Amino acid sequence: MGEAAQGSARVGAWNGSGGWQRASGYNKRARVEAAIGRWKQVIGDGLRSRIDERRVTEVNVAFNVLNRMLELGRPSYVRIV
C-alpha cells in the first residue's frame, strides 16, 4: 500500500460522527479556548492586584462570577410525563 493510500486510510478511520475530533482532542481544546475567551471578555486580560495573596482572591472571585453567570444562562429542563 502506497503512502497516499495509507494516509487516506488513516483519514477514513477518523470519519463519521466526529471521530477525528475525538482522536485529535479538538473538543477539549475548543472548550478551553472558549473558557479563556469568556474570562478575557468578562474579567479582562490581566490581574489588577500586585500582591500574590490578593491575586489568588481576585482569581477566586472571577471564577465564582463566571460560574454563576454560566449557571444563570443554562436552561433547566423539566420532564413532563
DSSP character at residue 2: -
47 lies in a domain? Answer: yes
Q: Print the domain residue range for 52.
A: 43-74
pLDDT at position 1? 53
Same domain for 29 and 3? yes
Over residues 37-78, the pLDDT tens digits come to 988 888 888 888 899 999 999 999 999 998 898 889 888 888
Same domain for 23 and 4? yes
Residue 43 burial (C-beta neighbours within 10 Å; 0-12, 13-18, 19+) = middle
Q: Domain count of the chain?
A: 2
CB count within 10 Å of CB 38 equals 13
Over residues 5-25, the pLDDT tens digits come to 555 556 555 566 677 777 888
Give CA–CA dist 65/55, Å, rounded. 15
